[in-house]
Amino acid sequence: MRLGIAGFRHETITFWPGFTDLEDFERVALHGEEVIEKRRGTNTAVGGFIDICEREGIELFPVCEVPGWATATVTDRAYNFYVNEMKREFSREAENLDGILLALHGAMVTESLQDAETHIVREIRRVVGYEMPIMVTLDLHGNIDPSLLDEATAIFGYQSSPHVDMAETGRRAARTMLSTLNGEIKPITAIKKPGLVVPSVFSATTVSPAKDIIERLREWEKHPGVVDVSVFFGFAWSDVHQIGMSAVAVTDNDPELAQRIADDLAQMAWENREVLTGGKNLHSVKEGVALAIKKAKRASKPIIILDHADRTGDTTFVLRELLDQGAQNAALPCFFDPRAVKVCEKAGVGNEVELEIGGSTGWRDGGPVRVNGKVLWVGEGRYICSGPMWKGMEINLGPTAIIKAEGVWIQLTTYQHALINEDPFTKFGYRAEDFDIIVTKSKTHFRAVYEKVGEEIIIVDAPGQCPADLSVFNYKNVPPGVYPITRTVS
Ligand SMILES: [Zn+2]
């Protein structure tokens, strides 16, 4: 047996001015055999494909693996480059392949396409036909269009946010591929969209009601005849026609059961729409920072400030407030500012620097903040992720500098990354637990570690690029009936 594998993922913020181009992807893209070498043993969907296939002695034909993050619309140039690569390679090997495993996202938007994922699978179908099984893994934050189910044999979403189950999702898809090819099952897929989109900060599956929806999903997975179940919470900052949540069930040739499960989970999400779209525990930046400073005085572990709206990693609303309110022993890890790193490198460890940092994109970023600080560390910020999410993946922050500016420890990086675990401290000789306040710009992924490391999580809704309040954006492509954008319920 021989299976083709490929991955291409991006979470597109269509409101973000500018584009994400080929060079942005190529910095981290893998091609050919490199895909196997670099992804084997990692907590990624492709890592999960490789794990099952190597265990079962299945030959792999790797094409490419292109991870991406939440940034501006993907250029046609970048998109066509990878889709053409997949088409060319799968076409060349079509005769020798039994199936294809794809690791996609579900919220990629290009200059020409609102629904890139359906188009990717359709383009691959053009060269391999409709007989060959194609199993697709997707991110829990995908905006899934029902037409994807006409192209893919079955789809599999991460069931956890934090996405600590990416490899497991790849394993679910690979196992289903094998039982399909062995003739043990005939997968049938159904989808239901409740007409609801969830700002990512409310999609944490360790917190109710998202937690309860996943528990219901688990119950359904035990039902006889069920192959797999996914709930996609959608991505709120992609202005696309298929925006919003989807419940998807895969059964063994039982369309009625698949639809019943999808309908049930969609109904449960709809009933919880208010909490899923506007949690009551959001603080303004001023309030949240004041609360963190007050609580930190009595806490035995760090207070975590979640600045969830920041997608560039360099918005300055929280930093400015920490400095203004005189926060002490606070940490701001993974703060994106390549220019400031260069100034620190030049100054050298132990010396004072005067910097204007952050606010580099000019879009909802708060503008630069002037800081005077002492350089504590400079060097290469490259390490292997200790997990749980992305375990085994190489993380590259590029040239990195750490400064102490008044009471705030700031880690300046050349490439963007969000604090999801303790690595940005431990790999640089620090410990998260030694700080009183820690700021993270991760949305839910940090919870896998910081629900334990932190005493309390304070969520601030800074203006940022992706705030919880969606009414600040002018959506043009969202059809009627998507709560809370185009559907209101009295
Ligand atoms: Zn996600």
Nearest-CA neighbor of 163 among 110, 246, 115, 232?
232
Separation of CA 11 and ligand 1 centre (Å): 8
Mean pLDDT of each 10-residue bin along the chain, 490 residues long: 98 96 96 98 98 98 96 97 98 98 98 98 98 98 98 98 97 98 98 97 96 98 98 98 98 98 98 89 95 98 97 96 98 98 98 96 93 98 95 96 98 96 98 98 95 97 94 96 87
Q: Which tens digits make up the pLDDT trace of 239-282?
A: 999 999 999 999 999 999 999 999 999 999 999 999 999 867 89
Does 472 fall in a domain? no
The domain spanning residue 184 has which CATH number?
Answer: 3.40.50.2300
CA distance 159 to 164: 9
Residue with tokens 């059809």: 479
State whether 301 and 266 are in the same domain.
Answer: no
Query: Would you say the pTM of this structure is higher than 0.85?
Result: yes
Q: Which tens digits make up the pLDDT trace of 69-114?
A: 899 999 999 999 999 999 999 999 999 999 999 999 999 999 999 9
Separation of CA 31 and ligand 1 centre (Å): 23
Separation of CA 163 and ligand 1 centre (Å): 7
What does the block give as tokens for 175?
A: 């196992």
DSSP string, 305-331: EEETT-SSS---HHHHHHHHTT--SEE
State whether 48 and 79 are in the same domain.
Answer: yes
Sequence-ordered alpha helix ranges (H) in 110-165? 116-128, 148-151
Domain boundary among 277, 311, 337: 277
- Expressed as residue numbers, the domain containing 392 is 282-467
State whether 263 and 291 are in the same domain.
Answer: no
State whether 301 and 185 are in the same domain.
Answer: no
State whether 300 and 271 are in the same domain.
Answer: no
Separation of CA 233 and ligand 1 centre (Å): 9
State whether 259 and 299 are in the same domain.
Answer: no
CA distance 315 to 322: 13
Q: How many domains does the chain have?
A: 2
Separation of CA 221 and ligand 1 centre (Å): 21
CA distance 387 to 393: 9
Separation of CA 397 and ligand 1 centre (Å): 20
DSSP string, 168-210: HHHHHHHHHHHHHHTTS--EEEEEE--SB---GGGG-TTSTTH
State whether 271 and 298 are in the same domain.
Answer: no
Domain boundary among 250, 277, 304: 277
Separation of CA 140 and ligand 1 centre (Å): 5
State whether 272 and 287 are in the same domain.
Answer: no
Separation of CA 83 and ligand 1 centre (Å): 22
Separation of CA 101 and ligand 1 centre (Å): 19
Separation of CA 246 and ligand 1 centre (Å): 14
Separation of CA 277 and ligand 1 centre (Å): 16
Separation of CA 297 and ligand 1 centre (Å): 34
State whether 144 and 16 are in the same domain.
Answer: yes
Separation of CA 337 and ligand 1 centre (Å): 24
